[in-house]
Structure 1
Amino acid sequence: MELSVIILSYNVQHYVWQCIDSVLAGVEGLKAEVILVDNASSDETLVSITQDFPQVTLIANEENIGFSRAYNQAVKQAKGTYLCILNPDTVVGESLFKTLLKPSMTHRQMGAIGTQFIDGRGCFLPECKRVVPTPLGSLRKLLGFAGQKDLYYHDSMAPDEAGPVSILAGAFLFLKRLDYLGIDGFDEHYFMFGEDIDFSYKLLLNAKQNYYLGTEKIIHYKGESTQKNRQYLSRFYGAMVHFYKTHFSNSRFKVFLVSLLAQGLILWRGLWPKNQSTHTPSIEAVFWVSERVDLSDHLAHWLGQKVQSLNLGSFKRQTPAGLKNTPPKNALLVFDRASLTYEAIIELMSLGASHGQRFRIWHSQKQLLIGSDSSDTHGEALILG
């Protein structure tokens, strides 16, 4: 077995369905397995995946055991030489896994490999490449002094570049299973935040080099399985403190300051939550991006306005960058998954980010319309049938 792709879900039925659909397209032709760990979702995730993707191995937990324990649990069953740790609100392209399995990407000192992340509006997400967050660096970030380069994110490397980085995001991690086991996997003290920082750092301590491959993109919608309440804040800042106590015990005073400040922020943001702006400009035009002219009646009714078909013509699905004339600003693009590869959709979203466009993906076999207009809030997943 070459590859085990492990996905964790919790109440994200439609997003994990799309994620698995993209993964199965990506592992076609490979000796691979897909494992879904569900942390006691109360929605119809298990029914949906069992019906539509019987080839997926399901692990159904009776309670939410958190990120770290669930992934460690699945890795014990995994048979692949390589692992891909994947969040459920992601979409991968068809050629990604084949690229990562090339000999040039799998040399002995390679630790984990990460890719470029874009959100539901096609915008780059800087957390996909980070530096080791020292206590002093985190104090500056918590206090708002985030302008300095390479303070928290690896800003000195451009999004489309590739090269060594210290810290990768847990939404996508590709590495050898033996290297995962060699650092005892994820530290199970972390419930759902900070485990990727700790994991990446342990690989560095184990003489491995983590690598950012900015030439490859995935969608990471973000926020689909996270409610930003007081419990979220406590776990987020608590994970940061645990990381420093584990790895920077010689900087006790700085760790104490981080801990003190984190507790203050939990109290402050719990009493005065940060307002998330939900205003988005009105949609000026709607484009149906497909090789098919006709829309589903359900989709046409939901869109509720005149829809223009984007004529793909001789557009090659494998080279979406060839489509240069993008629709106008504030347009909504509805991608027909039956006509477009995931790779094409990801690239078109990236190209449209600078135009302020919004995107949805239409899955005709499920009558599912899915997308997100902000990486800070829940997206939209609608069954229109």
Structure 2
Amino acid sequence: MDYNPAHTAVVILNWNGLRYLQEFLPSVVAHSGNCEIIVADNASTDGSVAFVQEQFPQVRIILLDQNYGFCEGYNKALQQVEAKYYVLLNSDVHVPERWIEPVLELMESDENIAVCQPKILSQQHPGFFEYAGAGGGMIDTLGYPFCRGRIFEHLEEDKGQYNDVQEIFWATGACMFVRANVYHGLGGLEPAFFAHMEEIDFCWRARNTGYKVMYNGFSKVYHVGGGTLHKSNPRKTFLNFRNGFALLYKNLPSKELIPTLALRILLDWIAAFRMILAGQTKDAKAVLDAHADLLRNSSYWGRQRKKHYHKGNFPKLAGVYKGSIVWEYFVRQKRTVKEL
């Protein structure tokens, strides 16, 4: 099936990412066909906007008045973009030829597909999957996300094992194709997340309202990863733990909510204790700060649950591993999805 890419907008959210725009924007311009290419700028101060204006006048620029973060930055930018499909693309992604067509052709074949991602490989090590998305996102019953091709820090070599089309639980925000009407219908990304796990929350909401989230391994892109916050940054630890907990509170069915959250609190505290033993005291504090932040803002998260919650059957959704990935990885030493 042929699809006219002129109905698609590739939107790169930028904040002081000049070095990435210099390296990767040329491939996006060269290999995105008739798609509209947009750089939405979160009030950068590093010359990013001037670079795009001078070197790529065909690229549209949306100027935001401050750094709204990943979530609200995209929400505000996409209010100004008319298209059938959006591609949310990180600035640190290299795209080869024909990276768009296989995904759009799949989405055109089924109007119930709301979100899709390609295969995500490492820019530094192209033969291996990249952390953020890999071969499609999954989640376990305690809300721990992982991917086909990536469990925690273990990254698989790409040997064609995920050259398929597969329904998944979540698609990566590093390169996420989404129907514009669904994006706006669901209220966009959760602004309070700021960054990290926002795509899981969005995909969960889409799944609960009857849409499919897909992976198409016949398209691929190459991602640097960690361009905004390195994994060793305590701010990233805070966002991951805070957002991971809020993700469950917003979306879990009522009968599973209390026992799941209780166990997650215990596991989070164990993780913090391990960080202290490893000398990572700032990260341990970030975990505790995450829990404190959730308590301080419990009324907000309660309103969000009431606003977005649907009575979905979480364990029966595609991409949910009916066990504990923490147990399988750290105790049983299983490193790949095929071993689970």
Instruction: State the TM-score, normalized to the length of structure 2.
Output: 0.69
Distance in 1, matches of 2:105 and 2:61, equals 28
The answer to whether structure 1 residue 121 and structure 2 residue 128 are counterparts is no
Paired letter, 2:10: V
Shift of the alpha carbon at 1:229? Answer: 1.8
User: Is this contact kept in 2: 1:116–1:213, CA < 8 A?
Assistant: yes
User: Is this contact kept in 2: 1:100–1:106, CA < 8 A?
Assistant: no
Paired letter, 1:259: I
User: Is this contact kept in 2: 1:234–1:266, CA < 8 A?
Assistant: no
The answer for the alignment partner of 1:240 in structure 2 is 244
Paired letter, 1:167: W
The answer to whether structure 1 residue 130 and structure 2 residue 130 are counterparts is no
Shift of the alpha carbon at 1:6? Answer: 0.9
Matches within 5 A, 1:131-210: 131-135=138-142, 138=144, 158-210=161-213
Quick one: which of 218, 221, 224 aligns to 1:218?
221
User: Is this contact kept in 2: 1:37–1:59, CA < 8 A?
Assistant: yes
User: Is this contact kept in 2: 1:124–1:159, CA < 8 A?
Assistant: no
Distance in 2, matches of 1:223 and 1:87, equals 11
User: Is this contact kept in 2: 1:3–1:83, CA < 8 A?
Assistant: yes
**Over residues 251-275 of structure 1, what are the superposed CA-to-partner deviations in whole Å (9 max), with x where a residue is unaligned?**
213213313533564575477239x
Shift of the alpha carbon at 1:58? Answer: 1.7
Change (3 A) 1:50 1:133: farther
Gaps of 5+ in 1: 148-152, 275-385
The answer to whether structure 1 residue 22 and structure 2 residue 27 are counterparts is yes
The answer for the alignment partner of 1:254 in structure 2 is 260
The answer for the alignment partner of 1:100 in structure 2 is 103
Secondary structure of the 1:5 match is strand
Paired letter, 1:131: M
Distance in 2, matches of 1:104 and 1:82, equals 9
Secondary structure of the 2:138 match is coil
The answer for the alignment partner of 1:44 in structure 2 is 47
The answer for the alignment partner of 1:230 in structure 2 is 234
Distance in 2, matches of 1:104 and 1:241, equals 31
**Over residues 144-177 of structure 1, what are the superposed CA-to-partner deviations in whole Å (9 max), with x where a residue is unaligned?**
xx69xxxxx9x9x932222211111110111221
The answer for the alignment partner of 1:273 in structure 2 is 280
User: Is this contact kept in 2: 1:203–1:209, CA < 8 A?
Assistant: yes
**Over residues 155-205 of structure 1, what are the superposed CA-to-partner deviations in whole Å (9 max), with x where a residue is unaligned?**
9x9322222111111101112211111211111121111101111111111
Change (3 A) 1:80 1:264: same
Distance in 1, matches of 2:241 and 2:25, equals 31
Change (3 A) 1:55 1:179: same
| Identical positions, percent | 23
Distance in 2, matches of 1:89 and 1:124, equals 15
Change (3 A) 1:16 1:132: same
The answer for the alignment partner of 1:361 in structure 2 is none
User: Is this contact kept in 2: 1:15–1:88, CA < 8 A?
Assistant: yes
Secondary structure of the 2:192 match is coil
Change (3 A) 1:254 1:199: same
Q: How big is the alpha-carbon RMSD for the aligned residues of Structure 1 and Structure 2?
A: 2.8
Paired letter, 1:9: N
Distance in 2, matches of 1:104 and 1:188, equals 26
Quick one: which of 47, 57, 71 aligns to 2:74?
71
The answer for the alignment partner of 1:9 in structure 2 is 14
Change (3 A) 1:232 1:104: closer
Secondary structure of the 1:46 match is helix
**Over residues 77-105 of structure 1, what are the superposed CA-to-partner deviations in whole Å (9 max), with x where a residue is unaligned?**
11111110111110112222233333774
Distance in 2, matches of 1:121 and 1:241, equals 32
Instruction: State the TM-score, normalized to the length of structure 1.
Output: 0.61
Change (3 A) 1:3 1:49: same
The answer for the alignment partner of 1:54 in structure 2 is 57
User: Is this contact kept in 1: 2:87–2:175, CA < 8 A?
Assistant: yes
Secondary structure of the 2:51 match is helix
Gaps of 5+ in 2: 1-5, 282-340
Secondary structure of the 1:7 match is strand
Change (3 A) 1:207 1:62: same
User: Is this contact kept in 1: 2:117–2:215, CA < 8 A?
Assistant: yes
**Over residues 224-264 of structure 1, what are the superposed CA-to-partner deviations in whole Å (9 max), with x where a residue is unaligned?**
11133222111111010000111125321321331353356
The answer to whether structure 1 residue 109 and structure 2 residue 112 are counterparts is yes
